[in-house]
Amino acid sequence: MGEWVSIPTPAAPVTAVVLSLMHARNMKSFSLLSLLLLVLVAALSVSQFVMMRQLADARAEVDAVRRKYGYIRVEDEKMTYVSRIAENEETDDAYRIIVPAGSRYMLHLTDARFENDGCPPDPIPTKTISLNGWREGADVVLSYSIYWEDDAPRVVVHTEADQFFNYVPPDWQSGDGPNEGWHLQTDPQKAFAIDETIQFMRWKDPSTKRGIMLWLEPHAKWEAKRNAKKATEPSGEPKPPV
């Protein structure tokens, strides 16, 4: 009988070749995937950087707008809100005011003597104006400035659209010391009921005690004081015989 002869098959070399090809393909796929991931990470990093720059620019713009126009968060629509503006283009002193609809105010400028650090107990307006344009509600910037002209102070009060007062105290006499001033502090905002009086500033010469006060008074208070004053004044009619 003949002997069995073992004929070698190409299975082992073929398998090695196949495995080598599969490994090369996997390495190629892995390299492509890594490249895609790197590109994606780089794109996300650039996008995040651009977004952070945009947010920083937006915050800077918002801060600039708040410094220029004031920032107010209305929490009660029935209240009047006041915020002092840090940086104003026209004057050093300005307030943003939000007035609710249905409120009526009188704006007063008082030229009087201030005997102490506070205001007179019942100040009498030297100049006054009815803010009828605010009755339907308003969001305005009220500005005032005091500067010297011919050895006397000139007081100018206005909004963006209207000039209210341009006043020079007559017969002004300056004292020896520096002038003193006070203005309403709102950090960052202050709310007032619509029946409250709002004082914006007081300014005086401490030697003569003469000064200026700017204030906002509800029309109802103003009218009540006028009526009370009329009631105490003589009518001018002849009194009946006793």
pLDDT tens track for 86-141: 655 555 689 999 999 999 999 999 999 887 767 777 789 999 999 999 999 999 99
Residue 196 makes CB contacts below 8 A (sequence gap 6+) with: 80, 218
pLDDT digits (tens, 9 = 90+) for 179-226: 888 889 877 899 999 999 999 999 999 888 899 999 999 999 999 888
Q: How many domains does the chain have?
A: 2
At CB < 8 A and 24+ separation, what contacts does 7-15 make? none
Domain endpoint, select from 25, 44, 69: 69
Domain with 175 in it: 80-231
Q: How confident is the model at residue 240 (pLDDT cuts 50, 70, 90)?
A: very low
Residue 241 lies inside a defined structural domain of this protein: no
Average confidence (pLDDT) over 165-178: 89
Residue 5 lies inside a defined structural domain of this protein: no
Residue 111 lies inside a defined structural domain of this protein: yes
**Alpha-carbon Rg for the chain in angstroms:** 39
Do 203 and 125 fall within a single domain?
yes
Do 87 and 166 fall within a single domain?
yes
For the full predicted model, state whether its pTM sits above 0.85.
no
Do 96 and 216 fall within a single domain?
yes
Do 125 and 85 fall within a single domain?
yes
Q: Are strands 180-183 and 163-167 parallel, antiparallel or unpaired?
A: unpaired
Number of other CB atoms surrounding residue 143 within 10 Å: 21
Q: Which of 39-48, 64-73, 93-102 has the lowest mean pLDDT?
A: 64-73
DSSP 34-79: HHHHHHHHHHHHHHHHHHHHHHHHHHHHHHHHHHHH-----S-TTS
Residue 8 lies inside a defined structural domain of this protein: no
Domain endpoint, select from 69, 104, 133: 69
Residue 43 lies inside a defined structural domain of this protein: yes
Do 34 and 99 fall within a single domain?
no
